[in-house]
Chain A
Amino acid sequence: MTESRHLLEIQHLKTYFTTFEGVARAVDDVSFHLDRGEVLGVVGESGCGKSVTAQSIMRLIPEPPGKIVGGHIWFDGMDLTTLQPSAMRRIRGDRIAMIFQEPMTSLNPVYTIGDQIAEMFQLHRGMGRREAWRHAVAMLEKVQIPAPHKRASEYPHQLSGGMRQRAMIAMALACDPEILIADEPTTALDVTVQAQILDLMLQLKEDFQTAVMMITHDLGVIAEIAQRVVVMYAGKVVEQAATLPLFEDPKHPYTRGLLRSIPKLGERSKKGRLRLEEIPGMVPGLLDLPPGCRFEPRCPHSMAVCREREPELQDLGSGRLVRCFLYGT
């Protein structure tokens, strides 16, 4: 395999978990890339492998039970899947940062948020305590936390959910990372606060030229902020496209089903209450996956071949990739 012209390129990544019941192929041959300054949306239902993909990039997979068993993750000429832990520690938080749905997973409850952000500057930039603290307060100001001097001396539990999320973003962006991986960063928030956080992320992306990988199950969030989208289903990428064509003309039966199954604001007044299209059945368990296409048991277009073997990811041109026999073998 060769290194990549993209900022980040994931090639045929496989991350499996060994459990008592068997091997869960949580991420199974996933490939996509991320370019400088873009927002890439990664969308899919719970359990489809979004977080495991992100944790693989950050090399945060708990091992055992998990393991990256195949593929490459290219970043600046390095393959992150084989990087030494010490080298990975220098990249993590400095050049690639991550934020989570639950801010308390990355904020430590026993330190003030100012100390935690300052630590990033001390660790990765070799600053002294005072200078690091000054930078920490400046970061809190950048993420629009009111009274940043005062807030810096507070503990995470003293902040509201929205403010904690801002503090976590401040910590993630402290070292001006090239890549920000955001794993459902607004899922636990009210829409009003979600709007503030998305707005903030877009603004910071402009200011810092950070590439953002936005993981979410919310197609609305994707439509609002992503330029390109990767759709995952049961550990596989099933479709990839630029945002507008994906929403206007989804190709994969799963993507189509998803888009038609959600009520859209304002639609009822215009068209009346159309029955929502259901995707029948449910997502298969990773331990008893169907032999052919993983979507086959729920697919309205299922054919004989779909039960026999797995479709490959087809390149349909203009950046559109689809994993489905409807578009060739």
Chain B
Amino acid sequence: MKTLLQVDELKVHFPIKKGLLGRTVGYVYAVDGVSFTLREGETLGLVGESGCGKTTTGLGVLRLIPTTSGRILYNGEDIARVKAQRMRELRREMQIIFQDPYSSLNPRMTVNQILGDPMDTFGLYPGRQRSERIAFLLEKVGLSPEHGRRYPHEFSGGQRQRIGIARALALDPKIVIGDEPVSALDVSIQAQIINLLLDLQREFGLSYLLIAHDLAVVEYICDRVAVMYLGKIVEMGTYEQIYNHPKHPYTEALLSAVPIPDPKVTRRRILLQGDVPSPIHPPAGCHFHPRCPKRMDICDKERPPLTSLTGDHQVRCFLHA
């Protein structure tokens, strides 16, 4: 498979400002050296606890927020450095779906306007093609042409998410980033949207970067999975490698904490102590060492390197260095 997107050592640091002069007194190291590739037609999952930098990674890759350093190669072009005008063109090919189907749609626009707006911006699908395209998109996401005349508040959460997906597909993108696209939905609606995302991927050859906290959903959808902790990827591999042969103690703990909807299954829980430390003052050495059940002497002194295991499997831990 062809590599579509290659992210190299991406960093996004948010300055913390204090006082009248807005002096910078420190940084939130939200994304701190993240590297991954996304291949044509595949789905890469990004998982980790709240605040570990998943959304910031997604926004950084699309340059919807300024990045601090690193390269984002899309078809060989470094979009971390391209001019604003070029970036606007590239956005056509990279879209994002947000978690909250309520706040991500303009309440004063009809669905037809919401879907037509990006086409107008890029001067695509003029005249009759515009309404044909809108009807096509609505059909693809399981809505009907009559829905086009309605406003977002007239739809249920699941339907609004369908509209958000249709909008993302309007300009025939190559890459779609989904930031928790099903987590705000009711359980009985989630399956509808998951199936829809998989169908659309097959039909249009989309590549997905899927940000999600539900590890069962990620296992179900993704080809490869990256596990993040405090701004870094600590393990990455195929879904089989991550779910059946996790190597990083954090991945093990995360997976063992997922409640399984089967009362016959009893598992050994790895209970992590405490919460995620602040990304303003990440712990020295291995960021995970204060909570790691397998911590060794070296772990609070040195940074573990990213080690390649079999195939695409990579892990950042001294146990495997």
**A and B: bona fide binding partners:** yes
Closest Cβ of chain B to A138, distance in Å, is 21
Question: Does B261 lie within 8 Å of A219, measured CB to CB?
Answer: yes
Question: Does A282 lie within 8 Å of B156, measured CB to CB?
Answer: yes
CB neighbours (8 Å) of B189 from chain A are 279, 282
Number of B residues with CB within 8 Å of any CB on chain A: 43
Contacts A199-B271, A264-B216, A265-B255 hold; do A276 and B195 have CB atoms under 8 A apart? yes
User: Which chain B residue has the least Cβ–Cβ distance from A193?
Assistant: B275
Contact of B188 with A by CB under 8 A? yes
CB neighbours (8 Å) of A244 from chain B are 263-264
CB neighbours (8 Å) of B49 from chain A are 190, 192-193
Contacts A45-B187, A220-B261 hold; do A195 and B269 have CB atoms under 8 A apart? yes
CB neighbours (8 Å) of B213 from chain A are 190-191
Question: Does A218 lie within 8 Å of B259, measured CB to CB?
Answer: yes
Q: How far is the CA of A224 from the CA of B259 in the complex (A)?
A: 6
User: Which chain A residue has the least Cβ–Cβ distance from B270?
Assistant: A195
CB neighbours (8 Å) of B272 from chain A are 192, 195-196
Binary flags per residue of B243-280, CB closer than 8 Å to A gives 1, else 0: 11000000001111111111111000101101110000
Binary flags per residue of A262-300, CB closer than 8 Å to B gives 1, else 0: 111111110001011111101100000000000000000
Task: Name A265's contact: one of B186, B188, B195, B216 (CB within 8 Å).
Answer: B216
Question: Does B259 lie within 8 Å of A275, measured CB to CB?
Answer: no
CB neighbours (8 Å) of B50 from chain A are 161, 190
Closest Cβ of chain B to A293, distance in Å, is 16
User: Which chain A residue has the least Cβ–Cβ distance from B156?
Assistant: A282
Q: How far is the CA of A243 from the CA of B271 in the complex (A)?
A: 24
CB neighbours (8 Å) of A280 from chain B are 192
CB neighbours (8 Å) of B191 from chain A are 261-262, 276-279
Question: Does A278 lie within 8 Å of B195, measured CB to CB?
Answer: yes
In the complex, number of A-B residue pairs with CB atoms less than 8 Å apart: 134
Task: Name A263's contact: one of B220, B240, B265 (CB within 8 Å).
Answer: B220
Contact of B173 with A by CB under 8 A? no
Contact of B217 with A by CB under 8 A? yes
Question: Does A45 lie within 8 Å of B188, measured CB to CB?
Answer: yes
Q: How far is the CA of A265 from the CA of B254 in the complex (A)?
A: 12
Contact of B29 with A by CB under 8 A? no
Q: How far is the CA of A116 from the CA of B216 in the complex (A)?
A: 38
Q: How far is the CA of A160 from the CA of B277 in the complex (A)?
A: 10
Q: How far is the CA of A45 from the CA of B187 in the complex (A)?
A: 7
CB neighbours (8 Å) of A257 from chain B are 188
Question: Does A243 lie within 8 Å of B263, measured CB to CB?
Answer: yes
Contact of A88 with B by CB under 8 A? no
- List 9 tightest A-B contacts by C-beta distance, closest first: A220-B259, A263-B220, A261-B191, A195-B257, A276-B191, A219-B261, A279-B188, A45-B186, A190-B49
Known pairs A195-B271, A266-B260, A279-B191. 12 more at Cβ < 8 A? A160-B275, A191-B258, A193-B275, A220-B258, A224-B259, A224-B260, A247-B264, A257-B188, A258-B188, A268-B219, A279-B189, A283-B186
28 A-B contact pairs sorted by A residue (CB < 8 Å): A190-B276, A191-B254, A191-B257, A192-B49, A192-B254, A193-B49, A195-B257, A195-B272, A196-B271, A196-B272, A220-B258, A220-B261, A221-B259, A223-B259, A223-B262, A244-B263, A258-B187, A258-B188, A262-B216, A264-B262, A265-B243, A265-B255, A276-B194, A277-B191, A278-B191, A278-B195, A279-B188, A282-B156
